[in-house]
Amino acid sequence: MASQALVFLLETFFGLFILALLLRFYLQLFRAPPYNQLSQFLAAVTNFAVLRARRVIPGLWGADLATLVLAWLTEILLRLLVLFIAGHTPGGSAVGAGLIALGVFAAVKLLKLSIYILMVAVIAQAVLSWVNPYSPAAPILDSLTRPFLRPFRRWIPPIANVDLSPLFVLIACQLVLMLPVAWLEMSLARIL
């Protein structure tokens, strides 16, 4: 019972920190307006780790790789702690393969969380476009979703002045979650 509570607390706190790191990475990658409350909050919450990581991990083509690698390493640490609490201790000659599988598993978890971030952003943008299109959150959501909506907008015209591209992005996200990500996650969970 106590171990379940500890796992819950670890997954909650580490999960929120990973979410903050991923949001910071994507807002910077997709050039969201930097002077908004969300960006400032994410910078304040994650600066203690990101600024140190940037000394070691350089950026690449304008992408803040330090933040992404930090999110990946935090996910690996979380999975190691959960495995340790569950009583799985690495041993023998399979330690290297287990660590590689853990690294890939952490990358799959980050991909899954990234898809959920995209889905929430698409839904929030669609709702805001009907309710309050001039909301302060609109430019942030637009910068996050525009690269994913653009291909669908080229092929799917608006029907009665209603943009259906968010619906197709959500369907594509669900398919990616159902097929390759779920298969990878289950395969790697069996190894661990």
Same domain membership, residue 190 and residue 113:
yes
Which of 84-93, 96-105, 143-152 is predicted least confidently? 84-93
- Band (pLDDT 50/70/90 cuts) for residue 188 is low
Of 89, 122, 157, the residue at which a domain comes to its end is 89
Residues 6+ apart with CB under 8 A from 11: 78, 82
- Band (pLDDT 50/70/90 cuts) for residue 34 is confident
Instruction: Using the CB atoms, write b or e for 151-167: b if 16+ within 10 Å.
Output: ebbeeeeeeeeeeebbe
Of 89, 117, 150, the residue at which a domain comes to its end is 89
Same domain membership, residue 186 and residue 118:
yes
133 CA to centre of own chain: 25
152 CA to centre of own chain: 22
**Is residue 95 included in any domain, yes or no?**
no
Backbone angles phi, psi at 162, to 5 degrees: -115, 125
Q: Give the domain extent around 62.
A: 1-89
Of 34, 59, 89, the residue at which a domain comes to its end is 89
| Domain total in the chain | 2
Per-residue model confidence as pLDDT tens digits over 38-93 = 888 888 888 888 878 888 877 778 778 888 889 999 999 998 888 888 777 665 55
Per the CB < 8 A criterion, the answer to whether 87 and 117 are in contact is no
For residue 46, CA distances in Å to 22, 78, 146 come to: 10, 17, 25
Q: Which residue has the tokens 């698409």?
A: 122
Cα-only R_g, the chain:
19
Same domain membership, residue 148 and residue 67:
no
**Is residue 12 included in any domain, yes or no?**
yes
Same domain membership, residue 128 and residue 178:
yes
Structure-block tokens of residue 52: 């140190």
Same domain membership, residue 144 and residue 125:
yes
**Is residue 104 included in any domain, yes or no?**
yes
| Most confident of the ranges 14-28, 47-61, 129-143 | 14-28
**Is residue 94 included in any domain, yes or no?**
no
Per-residue model confidence as pLDDT tens digits over 110-121 = 999 999 999 999
The pLDDT value recorded for residue 121 is 93
% the chain with pLDDT above 90: 26
**Is residue 3 included in any domain, yes or no?**
yes
